[in-house]
Amino acid sequence: ENLSTAEVMNLLNKKSGVFGLSGDLSSDFRDLEAGMNENNAGATRAVKAFAYRVVKYIGAYAAALGGVDAICFTAGVGENSGFVRKMIVDRLTLLGIHLDEEANKKRGEEVKISTDDSKVLVYAIPTNEELAIARDTYALCK
């Protein structure tokens, strides 16, 4: 397409990933979840692809490490989307993971979302990304 460097950077950084997979609908998972609820094919494709990749990486690391003690969902989607967490955890039953549906509905608080009989503990934990950035910046400025 004979794109300039700036155009390639914009394409890779702004128009790819879930935004591109969604058919340019959105990169915001709240919009994508709403799109899935409206049977939007692009939103469905983007969220399913995202969940698949997370499941694939958890499975790969579980194999490489010889098992899993706990899984922690945090930041953005992991912290706030019980819908996406469910899509992921439901595909991890072979690891002995079972989702507590009620606990998974909670947002903005540290919560165990696995059942008591789950072989792997699963948590949703809020993060404070701004505080982490501030601490890293402070450490660099010392």
Whichever domain contains 99, its CATH number is 3.30.420.40
Same domain, 7 and 57: yes
Same domain, 20 and 52: yes
State which of 40, 66, 92 marks the end of a domain: 66
- Could you tell me which of 87, 89, 107, 84 has the C-alpha nearest to residue 99? 89
Same domain, 82 and 33: no
Same domain, 56 and 117: no
Q: What is the number of structural domains in the chain?
A: 2
pLDDT of residue 43: 95
Same domain, 32 and 98: no
Q: What is the pLDDT of residues 21-61, one digit of tens each?
A: 888 888 889 999 999 999 999 999 999 999 999 999 999 99
Q: E strands of 35-130, at which residues?
A: 70-74, 111-112, 121-125
Same domain, 78 and 60: no
Euclidean distance between CA atoms 67 and 124, whole angstroms: 20
pLDDT band at 127 (very low <50, low <70, confident <90, very high): confident
Same domain, 140 and 79: yes
State which of 12, 31, 66 marks the end of a domain: 66
- pTM of the shown model: 0.82
Same domain, 57 and 112: no
Euclidean distance between CA atoms 95 and 58, whole angstroms: 10
> CA geometry: angle at 46 spanning 69 and 86, to 5°?
35
State which of 44, 66, 88 marks the end of a domain: 66
The boundaries of the domain holding residue 28 are: 1-66
Token pair 């979840």: residue? 33
Residue 60 backbone zone (phi > 0: left; psi -120 to 50: alpha; other: beta): alpha
Euclidean distance between CA atoms 39 and 103, whole angstroms: 26
One-letter amino acid for residue 21 of the chain = L
Same domain, 54 and 82: no
CB 47 within 8 A of CB 18: yes
pLDDT band at 113 (very low <50, low <70, confident <90, very high): very high
β-strand 111-112 against 70-74: which pairing, if any?
unpaired
Report, as an integer, the average pLDDT of 91-101: 95
Same domain, 75 and 137: yes
Phi, psi of 103 (to 5 degrees): -60, -35
Q: Residue 78 corresponds to which tokens in the numbers above? A: 């992991």
pLDDT of residue 111: 95
